[in-house]
Structure formats: C-alpha cells, structure tokens
Amino acid sequence: MEHGYVRVKICGVTRPEDARVAEAAGADAVGVVMFSDSPRSIGPDEAAAVFSALGPFTARVVVTHTTSPEDLARVLALHPTAVQISYPHGVPTGCGTAVMRVVGRERPAPPLHADAYIVDESMGRGHLFDPASARSFVEESRVPVVLAGGLTPENVRAAVRAVRPYAVDVCSGVEIEPGVKDPALVRAFVAAVKG
C-alpha cells in the first residue's frame, strides 16, 4: 500500500514540552511508551500530561510491550488515537483506538486484526531497519505500514525513497538522551520527510 504523503511520528516522548515541539515542527503523531522496560516508559499520569499538551489534530499513540491485559486496559483508558503493541493482544473493537502491530524480519505478520503495521526491530535502540524486508512488507500489506528503526534526520529521506512507507517513526534519532528530545533534531527530521 503506497501513499504520496508520508506521515511522521515522534515517539518515546516523556515531557509535555517535547510534545509541543514535535507538534509545532509538523509531526502528525506523538508517541509515549508505557508498561515497558524502556528508559522512556512513563506512567498513565505522565502520558495524560503529554497528550494534553497536544492540539486536537495530532494523533496520540501509546507504545506498549506489556503482556498484561490489565495494563492494556489502563492504556486504552487514556483514549489514544492508536495503540502500538508487540504481543498478540486482542483489542476491543469499537473502542475508538486503532491498533498498530509490530512486525520484524520474522514474518508472517500477526494474524490478529491490525489497522496498521510498524516494521520495527529496533524498539528505540537505534538499530537500522532492513530495507529489502521493509519494502517487501510495504508492497504486500493491505493496511498502512510505518517504518521505524535507526532513522535520523540524515537518513530518513533516503529511507522513505527506498521503502515508500505510509509513515516513519523516530525515537532515539532525535534525542539528547533517552526520553529527552532535541528540538533542532525534531525539526530537522520532520523537514527531511516533508520538505
């Protein structure tokens, strides 16, 4: 599934001020990490504060690696635009939250319902994606595919040309330290994608 306009998600946001920077730079979505061993993982109150800093037209995404249905229920209680999950949880239909399922080189994709897939073997560690595998997945998918893994302001334009994803997702590639975004890098990343 190919699209001309590539969307941008700034992920691993831990502070409201970074959410505002991402939105002002032109990001389409802001992601927070919850119920994860990531150094960027924040609790429900902090996630709510990040989301509250955004205007009504910026998507709010929760990334979680939890295996707990109770944790997933706490995520859904925030009413995010989408939830990005690594485990084969069922998500209640009709809850108003889109489901993004994480896939890597090891395919096939999960058999469960997904509104989008995110090709990500990095999980915020800055490991570069596999271009051939990602492009193949984009070409075969019937739903939007988001590209993540090792993206930076310097390489994202070439990645978009090579893979043709629906959206790109960046975390460590725009950070000063885990969970703290560099405003100049955020702006440069969005400009590289949309410029």
Which is catalytic among the residues 18, 28, 120, 169?
120
pTM of the model: 0.91
Q: Measure the CA–CA gap between 42 and 109, rounded to whole angstroms.
A: 28
What is the percent of the chain with per-residue pLDDT over 70, rounded to a whole number?
A: 87
> What contacts 141, CB < 8 A, 6 or more positions away?
1, 109, 117
Q: 95, 115 in Cβ contact below 8 A?
A: no
Band (103; pLDDT cuts 50, 70, 90): confident
Cis peptide preceding 108, ω within 30 of 0: yes
Structure tokens belonging to residue 84: 């990005």
Cα→Cα distances 69→60, 94, 98, Å:
20, 17, 17
Q: Measure the CA–CA gap between 16 and 59, rounded to whole angstroms.
A: 14
* Ordered domains of the chain (ranges, CATH): 7-194 (3.20.20.70)
Q: 16, 49 in Cβ contact below 8 A?
A: yes
* pLDDT at residue 186 is higher than 50: yes
Residue 124, amino acid: G
Q: Which sign does the torsion angle of CA 47, 48, 52, 55 carry?
A: positive
Instruction: Measure the CA dihedral 89/113/75/39, to 10°.
Output: 70
Mean pLDDT of 16-26: 98
Q: Is 171 a catalytic residue?
A: no
Which is catalytic among the residues 11, 28, 169, 171?
11
Q: 105 vs 83, which has greater pLDDT?
A: 83
Instruction: HSE, CB side, 13 Å, CA atoms: give it for residue 149.
Output: 21
175-177 and 180-181 as β-strands: parallel, antiparallel, unpaired? antiparallel
Q: 45 vs 132, which has greater pLDDT?
A: 45
Least trusted range by pLDDT, from 1-5, 10-14, 35-39: 1-5
Q: Is 120 a catalytic residue?
A: yes
Structure tokens belonging to residue 23: 């939105």
